Chain A
Amino acid sequence: MAALVTMRINDKGVSEAIGFMLIFGMVIVGIGLVTLYGYPLLLQQQVSADEKIMEKNMIVLQNDIKSLAYKAVPFKETSLKIGGGSLTVYDSSYSTPSSTIEINDNGNNPYIPPFTPGELRYESMSAQTDIALQNGAVVLRRHVEPGSVMLAEPRWFFDSATNTVVFNLIKITSDTIMSKEGIGTVQMRLVGEPSYSAAPPIPNGQAIKLVYTPTPSGGRQDYSVAWDNYIIKTFDNPPYISMTKSGGPPGSGTPVTYTLTNNGSSDMTLVIKIFEVNIKSL
């Protein structure tokens, strides 16, 4: 009996080495599974985090531009981290601008020369998304979809009490072509005094024509859907303004004309201000 009992609790056959290998094997299999499935998920998370951070950074830069333009501060700089893509500045005179804006009177005579805003654009490598800071607005465009969305709005407005339409156009320029990845500092300064166009008053029944021409190549840099939504939201103000839209549709790469007819009892005042912001360095 005593011998049997000893047999039963005898653990001399248990090998620590084999046990260790079993445990080690399990650990290795675990690590393998995580690498195979978990890590790609994590990377994807990282990409979307990078994109979110850049959306935020663009709004920070937009705030800098607002300070320069509307508070007439001469210089601003912001340090930021550009992850998962690159930030590039496109001068206002870039050969294929993402948009051209014309503001004409009733008889299609222009108030200002055709305006190309230039832009600061973040191009994500993996998320297939572009975020652009153009004309004071932050717009986002996914490559695979024809639509685009405005994350932060520019300061165009209609004041119904004084029947005034205000366009604040912001032109981004740079002396050289610049692009940046990783950590960088965006330095920008206000160039000169804003150009101010005082148009003659627009009587009842007359109209302002705003023509938005997206990039001629169509494709990835067409932000016309975002701008279309914004323009309709801002200026379609019955009974003061009756707005009609022709051309387009937005997103197809063709120009869209917005006709803003003065329906108010008083003359409409049109104010167009153009601010020039120079990107000194990225």
Chain B
Amino acid sequence: MARLNDDAQWIILMGFLISFSFFFLALIINQSTVVGQTTAESVIEFPKNDIRDLVGVITTNTSRSNTTVVNSDITVISLHRKNAVVRYSLIQPNPPVDLHSYASIHYNNGVTTYYENWTSL
């Protein structure tokens, strides 16, 4: 006559627990699949380097001549090669009244819009 001993009921309990945890895990994984854009992609998409580079080239060359041609160069190439609408204006120093140069820079690539009012040291 077989007599089941009930010492191992906790095995059944654990079985239940494991099954339920499987389902919760499934729910969590399911939620995570809805995101299609990874963090790294968002970082790549944000034009950090583009904006820094643009501000850099505009502000480090305030003393140069030929600013009108350079301005059109930057505006046109930005639109063609970088898909960004760029506009900037530059005020060169006027010694001895004002020794500073000023730049107002606008950048927009459809996702990120950026404005800067820059004054030289």
Residues of A within 8 A of B (CB): 16, 49, 52-53, 55-60, 62-63, 66-67, 69-72, 152, 155-157, 159, 161-162, 164, 166, 168, 196, 271, 273
Contacts and interface: CB of A to CB of B under 8 A. Distances in A.
Given A155-B110, A156-B110, A55 B36 contact: yes
B7 interface: no
Contacts of A155: 83, 109-111
Given A55-B36, A161-B115, 4 more contacts: A67-B44, A162-B85, A162-B108, A273-B83
- Best-buried of A57, A155, A166, A196 by chain B (most CB within 10 Å): A166
A161 to B, nearest CB: 5
B81 A53 contact: no
Contact of A16 (B2, B30, B44): B2
Nearest to A162: B87
Interface in B81-121: 81, 83, 85, 87, 106, 108-111, 113, 115
B2 A60 contact: no
Contact of B34 (A55, A161, A273): A55
How large, as a class, is the contact surface on chain B? 20 to 34
Contacts of A67: 44
A260 B108 CA distance: 20
Interface in B42-59: 44-45
A49 B30 contact: yes
Nearest to A157: B110
A157 B108 contact: yes
A273 B111 CA distance: 16
A155 B85 CA distance: 13
Closest 10 CB pairs of A and B: A59-B36, A157-B110, A56-B36, A155-B110, A159-B108, A159-B85, A70-B83, A161-B106, A162-B87, A60-B36
A63 B85 contact: no
Contacts of B81: 72
A105 B12 CA distance: 75
Contacts of B44: 67, 71
B46 to A, nearest CB: 12
Nearest to B110: A157
